[in-house]
Amino acid sequence: MKRLFKGIVWGLIVVLGLSFNAWAFGRKTIVKVGINAPITGDIPKVGEGTKYAARMWLEDINKAGGIEVGGKKYPVELVIEDNESKAESAVKANTKMITEDEVIVIVGPQSSKQAVPAGDVANNYETPMITPWSTNPDSTKDRPFVFRGCFLDPFQGPVLANFITEEFGFTKAAVLYDVASDYPKGLAEFFKIAWEKIHGSGSVVAYESFTTKDADFSSQLSKIRSSGAQVLFTPQYYNEVALIVQQAHELGWTGPIVGSDSWGSAETVTLCGKDCYGLFFSSHYAAAGAKGATKEFIDRYKKTYGYTPDDVAALTWDSLRLVQQAIENSGKVTGNIKKDRMAVRDALAQIKNFNGITGDMTFTEEGDPIKCAVIVKISDTGEYEFYKSVCP
Amino acid sequence: MEEQNEKDQRPKKGFKAWLQKLFAGIPLIGWLFSVFGAVLIEYFLGDLISYYLGLPKIPVLFGFLTVLKKPLLIPGIIGYLILVYGLPILLIAKSLRKPANKLAAFLDKGPVSIGAIIHLGFFYGAMHFWTDLSDYRLLVLKLTMIAIMLTLSINVINGYMGEFSCSHPGFMALGAYGASTITLLLFANDKLFGDALLPVALGFYFFPLALIGGGLIAALGALVIAIPSFRTRGDYLAIISLAFLFIVKSLIENLEFIGGPRGMSSQPNYANLPMVFTVMVLCIWIINNFVRSTMGKALNAVRDNELAAEVMTVNTRKTKIIAFMFAAFWAGVAGGLFAHVLRYVNPGSFGIQRLAEILAMVYFGGLNSVTGSIVGAVSISILSEALRPLEIYKWIIIPLLLILVMLFRPTGLIAFTEFNPKELMKPKKKRIEEQ
């Protein structure tokens, strides 16, 4: 017993002496920003883009010597948490960042299945949160502390319907979507409503669906082909887009195929190849032919990480810049985390005409931005070219 | 017991024996006392101690998360763990050995249930103060308890009955959606079902009924697959149950009135710690009694040799169906709690990934063992939470651990044991004197 006691006492003395900053008591005021990203799981590419954009932002802040609030500079720390692309992990990550790391504001999670439950946590703890990529209205609905960095599907659907009508003058459209996935299903419905509003009911001549991870679409595509549709709208993710487009061309489909912002990943063209050249989709920004700050961001990202950033990275970048502006505008960092979070939330809600790389933004009452959509054309060299901008 | 005595009689040497001597003679209630004491020390002094050790905050989850992100804080964390957990637990356990043994002896005379309730009371008290310090701990603990329920219930099928069932996430989904529908329809104003049909204030008291409702729906689902599939065994049942999992998932995805792929959100906040804890204790208690009953023995007989069991007058068909439904019921209850802890469910949460998690827990902990299930569920849940800062490497470490366990203990860490609360709560001193 004595030996044990002695051992423990000596051990403690050593540990105390060695413990980092045991000699510098006191905790500094650090502005902490949480990132909730799907680094592992189904969509690691999205998590990677989020992480890289956040690192670039932190680099900028550190270069400037911290974030300036009320004439004083505070150091900034990023808390990056992996949500494994699962709902409960996103909730855990948010709870941890809010209660343990005491972040002032959270950026993320990206997909709606995580942003909806995680937004609930952030709102309950009165912590401002911006989800850069979630398009589900529920993420921000009735949640004064939750904001969003992108436009919503009820806006994107009509934008595409109008664009196709004006550009091609078609009257009959077909839709092919994944019935088991939240985003494609919602967008397909909004597109159908918008299209039928312009061309009358029955003008969506084929409304075909499949289930996540299906790889053979020939039966749906043959139906679409025989229905007499002039254009095919498919709001799918990059891996399915490649399959759908290739199979449609094999079956003899010659009309245009139009997509939504989920096409915006760099992988789409890599997987799809020549089949996708010349097609259109709506997006948050276009990488090829970008100007000003957008080009600067793209070039820097490409130089550091070796590939063109997709829309997630750009939206995360904008969200972080919004956060930065809100913190700067909040007037003062008191060190009282509750007060600071409240001040940041108020500052965030008041931001007007924020000049982002994905367009100008002003938040509505619900915390959704009013911003323009971009129609992108995939060029003959496989680049995403700016074609047209559509504003609300 | 025989084996135990033999071990004790051997001459003791070295650190291991010394440790054994140190820990011998302290009954369970003594350990619970000391854990409670340590938690109280953390509750009142934790902030101060962590401040003087140069830590940014009280380390949650024993400092794993902090250490993995900032290795420089390791000495501070170790110091904190020794000061707050190690030393107080040892000292209190040692100094209260005598009164604790007396209390244990006193409780031993009474019925098991009273003793168990007193033990659980101390345990709950410790957890209450432990989670009071951090809501993150609370959430992790609640989800761990739900994992225990899931693991235990799948152990009834995969361990005690010896079949390989893959439909557990499906049962969980049925329970989660069933319970959520009941609470949202009756006690909450939401967009899916409109205004509450009953007074909102009553909701919390009816929540257990909603959970049971969810469990019953899951049990009904189990009956649906049990009837056709128990004509087959082994691989075929695995395939049929896997199909069931997909059917449930697609069904929910296509049912628009319960939210479809978008899921159901804003469940009322009923699943607090006492509620989850009570349900989990009930689950352990009932399942433990079930597997130790004649029914449980019959299940084991069916597993070992169905034909022989049939000859020995076991109604194998009935036994299997009851066990299957029983396990599904508890999976459904766990699902209902899960939905109310997260306050959001979507069909995507109940896929193959969830199945892999549950199976990992049950095979890691050990088949045919209540203790094993608890150990497996707790260690996998806490481990996967603690290692999250490692990101992708976490998915190398945990499977590696599983492989190692399968290599060295093919049936899991603690397999084929009986969980006997009376034995567990016995005073320890007496036994040593007897020898």
Identify the pLDDT of residue A161.
Answer: 92
Residues of B with Cβ-Cβ distance to A86 under 8 angstroms: 349, 353
Residues B107, B139, single domain; the answer is no
Residues B320, B396, single domain; the answer is yes
Distance from CA of A103 to the nearest CA of B (A): 13
Compute the average pLDDT of residues B66-94.
87
Compute the average pLDDT of residues B130-151.
94
Residues B261, B141, single domain; the answer is yes
pLDDT band at B242 (very low <50, low <70, confident <90, very high): very high
pLDDT band at B4 (very low <50, low <70, confident <90, very high): very low
Question: CATH number of the domain that B291 lies in?
Answer: 1.10.3470
Identify the pLDDT of residue A177.
Answer: 93
Distance from CA of B392 to the nearest CA of A (A): 6
B361, part of any domain: yes
B299, part of any domain: yes
Least confident piece of the model among A283-297, B107-121, B379-393: A283-297
Mutation to test the B interface, candidates A32, A96, A138, A187, most B Cβ within 10 Å: A96
- Residue range B206-224, pLDDT digits in tens: 999 999 999 999 999 999 8
> Are B136 and A87 inside 8 Å of each other by CB?
no
pLDDT band at A19 (very low <50, low <70, confident <90, very high): low
A86 pLDDT above the threshold of 70: yes
- Higher pLDDT, residue B207 or A13: B207
B31, part of any domain: yes
Residues B365, B329, single domain; the answer is yes
Per CATH, A31-151+291-371 and A153-283 having the same topology is answered yes
Residues B213, B249, single domain; the answer is yes
Q: What percent of chain B has pLDDT over 70?
A: 94
Break chain A into its structural domains and give their ranges. 31-151+291-371, 153-283
Nearest chain A residue to B59 by CA: give it: A100
Residues of B with Cβ-Cβ distance to A189 under 8 angstroms: none
Instruction: List the single residue in A95, A116, A180 with the smallest CB-CB distance to B135.
Output: A95
Identify the pLDDT of residue B5.
Answer: 47
Among B111, B146, B170, the domain boundary falls at B111
Instruction: List the single residue in A4, A22, A112 with the smallest CB-CB distance to B53.
Output: A22
Identify the pLDDT of residue A55.
Answer: 94
Instruction: List the single residue in B53, B56, B83 with the smallest CB-CB distance to A27.
Output: B56
- Higher pLDDT, residue A4 or B148: B148
Structural domain including B253 reads 135-421
- Higher pLDDT, residue B72 or B40: B40
Least confident piece of the model among A310-324, B134-148, B227-241, B303-317: B227-241
> Are A8 and B134 inside 8 Å of each other by CB?
no
Instruction: List the single residue in A81, A99, A180 with the smallest CB-CB distance to B134.
Output: A99
B1 pLDDT above the threshold of 60: no
Residues B146, B264, single domain; the answer is yes
B123, part of any domain: no
Residues of B with Cβ-Cβ distance to A40 under 8 angstroms: 391-392, 394-395
Compute the average pLDDT of residues A324-350.
89
B333, part of any domain: yes
Chains A–B, number of C-beta pairs less than 8 Å apart:
130
pLDDT band at B264 (very low <50, low <70, confident <90, very high): confident
Nearest chain A residue to B78 by CA: give it: A15
Residues B205, B305, single domain; the answer is yes
- Residue range A236-259, pLDDT digits in tens: 988 889 999 999 999 999 899 999
> Are A91 and B260 inside 8 Å of each other by CB?
no
Among B54, B78, B111, the domain boundary falls at B111
- Higher pLDDT, residue B399 or B232: B399
Nearest chain A residue to B73 by CA: give it: A20
Mutation to test the B interface, candidates A32, A39, A88, A121, most B Cβ within 10 Å: A88
The CATH number corresponding to A31-151+291-371 among 3.30.1490.100, 3.90.1150.10, 3.40.50.1820, 3.40.50.2300 equals 3.40.50.2300
Residues B139, B104, single domain; the answer is no
Least confident piece of the model among A239-248, B12-21, B110-119: B12-21
> Are A120 and B134 inside 8 Å of each other by CB?
no
Compute the average pLDDT of residues B285-308.
92
Compute the average pLDDT of residues A122-126.
93
Among B76, B111, B146, the domain boundary falls at B111
Identify the pLDDT of residue B182.
Answer: 92
pLDDT band at A1 (very low <50, low <70, confident <90, very high): low
Residues B295, B207, single domain; the answer is yes
User: With contact defined as beta carbons under 8 Å apart, do B359 and B380 qualify?
Assistant: no
> Are A18 and B53 inside 8 Å of each other by CB?
no
Residues B80, B216, single domain; the answer is no
Instruction: List the single residue in B54, B60, B140 with the smallest CB-CB distance to A19.
Output: B54
B168, part of any domain: yes
Compute the average pLDDT of residues A334-362.
89
Residues of A with Cβ-Cβ distance to B265 under 8 angstroms: 116-117, 120, 138
Least confident piece of the model among A344-353, B125-134, B184-193: B184-193
Q: What percent of chain B has pLDDT over 90?
A: 44
Structurally, how many domains does chain B consist of? 2
Residues B26, B105, single domain; the answer is yes
Q: Which CATH superfamily is domain A153-283 in?
A: Response regulator (3.40.50.2300)
B433 pLDDT above the threshold of 50: no
> Are B265 and A138 inside 8 Å of each other by CB?
yes
| pTM of the entire predicted model | 0.87
Nearest chain B residue to A23 by CA: give it: B54
- Residue range A267-315, pLDDT digits in tens: 788 888 888 999 999 988 887 777 888 889 999 999 999 988 888 899 9
> Are A20 and B87 inside 8 Å of each other by CB?
no
